[in-house]
Amino acid sequence: MHPAPSVIAFTTLSGAGFGLLFWLGLGLPDVTGWVAFAFFAVAYALAAGGLMASTFHLGHPERAWKAFSQWRSSWLSREGVASVAALVVMGVYGAGLVLFDTRLALLGGAGAALALATVFTTSMIYAQLRSVPRWQTPLTPALFLALSLAGGALLAGQITTAMALLLVAGLLQGMWWKRGDGAFAASGTDMATATGLGGIGQVRAFAPPHTGGNYLLREFVFVVGRKHAAKLRIIALALGFALPLVLLALPFSHAAAALAALSHLAGIAVSRWLFFAEAEHVVGLYYGAR
């Protein structure tokens, strides 16, 4: 799949942002006034900024509001509804903390649940696609939720929780990669079923429909960068999980915590790039590209 920078930025930043909102909703850390304002500003910049970035890849961003209508069937629509609900509820809850030094615990709990629901809907957009075997697994929502909770805890300054969640998320990341590498072969979709000609013999793509490229090849048959996948996985693991764990294990300082958060986000962005670049769409079979 083509790794669109807007979608990578969106899923990385908003994942961490909604993770931070989750912990703020639970009152971790229990802050009010200007300190609360600073935490909420970071969370909204990441969550809402990510959502804005995701509209950049639309053909018609001015019609984006129509995407709230199909929540009965579409995970993308559900994501839109959940994200706006989470931002509104957490906005009211944040206003209570910042302006009135009052923690509306029930509202915070609801906002935390909505923030997690948003991350879950994002992950299901990918996990629902049978056409991309690497994504179609319950491990995808598990990984997205673990990364969001770990990144959020890191930003919320919950050191011990963050360390535990980073370990869990790193483990899930490894499992997701391991399963993903065999997912296409295990899916049962190959040249024989794609063309229906497997009963006759070995099928080989002889000539493509056109000499030039097309939307399908650009969007789904992305192959650049796979040769560096192993190196990029190590970079993602080192920046996303190992370095933040080391920095958190050191005696606490704000500089180390900030560096841990930045390193984590950079690592997750690399992992998210691989999430798209390594994903094989079955339509590539028709072009003999699998």
Partner 1 sequence: MTTLPASTNRKMGLVIDLDTCVGCHACVVSCKGWNTENYGAPLSDQDPYGADPTGTFLNRVHSYEVQPLATSAMPHPAAQLVHFPKSCLHCEDAPCVTVCPTGASYKRVEDGIVLVNETDCIGCGLCAWACPYGAREMDAAEGVMKKCTLCVDRIYNDNLPEEDRVPACVRTCPAGARHFGDLGDPDSDVSRLVADRGGMDLMPEQGTKPVNKYLPPRPRDTLDEVDILAPLLAPVAEEPKGFLGWLDRTLERL
Question: What is the contact surface with partner 1 in residues (CB under 8 A)?
Answer: 1, 57-61, 63-64, 66-70, 72-77, 80, 125, 128-132, 187-189, 193-197, 199-210, 212-216, 219-220, 281-283, 286-287
Q: Which amino acid is at 84?
A: V
How far apart (Å, rounded) are the C-alpha atoms in residues 147 and 122?
Answer: 13
**Coil, helix or strand for 118?**
helix
**Nearest distance, CB of residue 84 and partner 1, angstroms:** 13
Q: Which residues contact 196 (CB under 8 A, 6 or more apart)?
A: none
Q: 34 or 206: whose CB is closer to partner 1?
A: 206
Q: 210 or 227: whose CB is closer to partner 1?
A: 210
Q: Which residues contact 137 (CB under 8 A, 6 or more apart)?
A: 127, 176, 179, 180, 183
Cis geometry, peptide bond prior to residue 29 (ω within 30 degrees of 0): yes
Q: 18 or 126: whose CB is closer to partner 1?
A: 126
> How many Cα atoms occupy the beta-carbon half-sphere of 176 within 13 Å?
28
**Nearest distance, CB of residue 225 and partner 1, angstroms:** 19
**Nearest distance, CB of residue 128 and partner 1, angstroms:** 7
Q: 77 or 158: whose CB is closer to partner 1?
A: 77
Q: Which residue has the tokens 């960068």?
A: 225
**Nearest distance, CB of residue 118 and partner 1, angstroms:** 14
DSSP string, 34-54: HHHHHHHHHHHHHHHHHHHHH
**Nearest distance, CB of residue 91 and partner 1, angstroms:** 23
Q: 161 or 187: whose CB is closer to partner 1?
A: 187
**Nearest distance, CB of residue 65 and partner 1, angstroms:** 9
Q: 168 or 191: whose CB is closer to partner 1?
A: 191
Both tokens of 210, joined, read 């056109």
Q: Which residue has the tokens 């963050």?
A: 162
